[in-house]
């Protein structure tokens, strides 16, 4: 009896190891199924898509009267200087294909149109590529015209191409509900045909570097294969494989966006710690005295006149930026800091006159917003739209049945 008990005790460690291995395999299997089975964060990626496309659209519209000085032929950074810089750093910009004013106006107009369509989620896969091309082309044409917000848009424009950011709150999602597929209709093949023709011209004319040539070729081929499989084998194994690959790329892209936001705040916070003005709590005072950063001089004077407020805002900015990357795994603390940072960016937009930088950072922060809040926000927005539509219908019906004749005011 004692020998059997001893053998049983000897087997216990081995059984525990086997059980631990089984649990680890089961957990790994669940994690793999979670990552490959669906695109995570559909609402967060949709908010990022809408936020960045809207920010870039508002910027292009605001600077429309100054477009020639910023990125066009009338700018201080001439076409020759831009050409020399692009040859040295191999940046991508289609504005280097020609120095004609017509080509510049066409690229600018396409950038505006792609921003609108990406924000609405129309043919999102193609529009994300066109949006990226527009952002890179304009920003790389005049690299000294941007700020931190432009750098964020620059990066996020490339990351959005990797994501399935139109699963909700998009015209593509609406088409998929009504017609069974987001790629239904002839607009998609026509659009990709035009993009393919432009890509072929750029390839033949040696307008692309080898890296961009491979990237655009891969995008075009993958999207063409996706359309064919979605049309002729929507329920087959090929479509299942493509869905798994698309989910993997989307989830990796979303992870990169999150890591990028954390890196931005971490580097900004730790660099601030090294500055003497941030250490003594007076850093915010100095930009409030510059004309360029004082759209509201009276408000800036009120803030700068309080040493305590300046110190609290300076120290609070550093503390929030340094702490945020360490709190992303704690929902409550992360959500509190997220709200504080969004309020901070709203304050920067008003107080320092940097609205587009603030919009870009708020759009980047939105990737961490809780799903429940975004769902609630979507429901509220849809109810407001339905209420507005219901209120407009009776007014239109009353106008339609009203007798012809002059209005009482005319009488």
pLDDT band with cut points at 50, 70 and 90 for residue 206: confident
pTM of the predicted model, to two decimals? 0.88
Quick one: CA dihedral 211, 213, 219, 222, positive or negative? negative
pLDDT of residue 153: 95
pLDDT of residue 326: 92
Q: How many CA atoms within 13 Å lie on the side-chain side of 89?
A: 11
pLDDT of residue 87: 87
* DSSP character string of 278-336: HHTT-GGGTGGGSGGG-SSHHHHHHHHT-HHHHHHHHHHHHHHHHHGGGSTT-HHHHHH
**288 CB contacts (<8 Å, ≥6 apart)?**
294, 300, 301, 303, 304, 351, 352
pLDDT cut 70: percent of the chain above it: 90
pLDDT of residue 406: 40
Instruction: State how far the Cα of 337 lies from the Cα of 110, in Å rounded to an integer.
Output: 37
Nearest-CA neighbor of 256 among 248, 243, 211? 248
pLDDT tens column, 232-287 = 888 888 888 999 999 999 999 999 999 999 999 999 999 999 999 999 999 999 99
**73 CB contacts (<8 Å, ≥6 apart)?**
79, 99, 101, 104
Q: How high is the mean pLDDT of the chain?
A: 87
Report whether pLDDT(9) > 70. no
pLDDT tens column, 36-92 = 888 999 999 999 999 999 999 999 999 999 999 999 888 888 888 998 988 888 889
Instruction: State how far the Cα of 44 lies from the Cα of 42, in Å rounded to an integer.
Output: 6
Determine how many CB atoms are found less than 10 A away from the CB of residue 260: 16
Q: Tokens standing for 178?
A: 């009504």
pLDDT of residue 37: 80
pLDDT of residue 394: 57
pLDDT of residue 207: 87
Report whether pLDDT(32) > 80. no
93: left (phi over 0), alpha (psi -120 to 50) or beta: beta
pLDDT band with cut points at 50, 70 and 90 for residue 410: very low
pLDDT of residue 356: 94
Mean pLDDT of 301-326: 93
pLDDT tens column, 121-171 = 999 999 999 999 999 999 999 888 878 889 999 999 999 999 999 999 999
pLDDT of residue 386: 78
Q: What is the DSSP letter of 186?
A: S
pLDDT of residue 6: 53
Quick one: CA dihedral 27, 33, 35, 39, positive or negative? negative
Instruction: State how far the Cα of 132 lies from the Cα of 219, in Å rounded to an integer.
Output: 13
* DSSP character string of 361-407: HHHHHGGGS-HHHHHHHHHHHHHHHHHHHHHHHHHHHHHHHSPSS--
pLDDT of residue 285: 92
Q: Tokens standing for 95?
A: 């504005």
Instruction: State how far the Cα of 373 lies from the Cα of 303, in Å rounded to an integer.
Output: 32
């Amino acid at each position: 009896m004692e020998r059997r008990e001893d053998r049983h005790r000897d087997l216990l460690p081995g059984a525990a190891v086997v059980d631990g291995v089984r649990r680890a395999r089961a957990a790994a299997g669940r994690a793999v199924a979670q990552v490959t089975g669906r695109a995570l964060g559909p609402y967060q990626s949709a908010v990022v898509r809408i936020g960045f496309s809207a920010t870039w659209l508002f910027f292009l519209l605001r600077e429309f009267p100054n477009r020639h000085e910023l990125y066009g032929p009338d700018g201080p950074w001439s076409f020759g200087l831009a050409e020399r810089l692009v040859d040295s750093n191999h940046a991508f910009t289609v504005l280097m294909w020609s120095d004609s004013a017509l080509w510049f106006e066409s690229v600018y107009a396409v950038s505006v149109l792609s921003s609108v369509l990406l924000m609405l989620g129309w043919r999102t896969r193609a529009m994300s590529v066109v949006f990226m091309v527009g952002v890179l082309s304009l920003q790389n044409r005049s690299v000294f015209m941007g700020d931190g917000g432009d750098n964020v848009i620059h990066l996020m424009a490339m990351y959005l191409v990797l994501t399935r950011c139109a699963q909700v709150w998009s015209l593509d999602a609406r088409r998929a509900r009504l017609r069974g597929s987001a790629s239904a209709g002839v607009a998609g093949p026509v659009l990709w045909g035009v993009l393919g023709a432009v890509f072929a011209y750029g390839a033949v004319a040696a307008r692309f570097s080898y890296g961009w040539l491979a990237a655009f070729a891969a995008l075009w081929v993958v999207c063409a294969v996706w359309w064919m499989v979605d049309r002729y084998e929507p329920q087959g194994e090929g479509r299942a494989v493509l869905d798994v690959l698309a989910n993997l790329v989307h989830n990796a892209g979303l992870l990169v966006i999150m890591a990028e936001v954390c890196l931005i705040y971490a580097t900004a916070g730790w660099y601030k710690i090294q500055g003497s003005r941030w250490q003594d709590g007076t850093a915010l005072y100095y930009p409030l005295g510059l004309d360029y950063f004082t759209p509201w001089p009276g408000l800036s004077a009120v803030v700068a006149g309080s040493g305590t407020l300046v110190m609290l805002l300076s120290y609070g900015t550093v503390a929030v930026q340094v702490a945020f990357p360490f709190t992303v795994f704690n929902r409550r603390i992360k959500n509190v800091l997220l709200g504080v940072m969004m309020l901070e960016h709203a304050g920067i937009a008003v107080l320092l006159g940097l609205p587009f930088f603030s919009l870009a950072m708020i759009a980047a922060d939105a990737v961490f917003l809780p799903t429940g809040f975004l769902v609630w926000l979507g429901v509220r927005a849809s109810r407001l739209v339905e209420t507005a539509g219901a209120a407009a219908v009776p007014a239109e019906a009353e106008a339609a049945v009203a007798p012809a004749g002059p209005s009482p005011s005319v009488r």
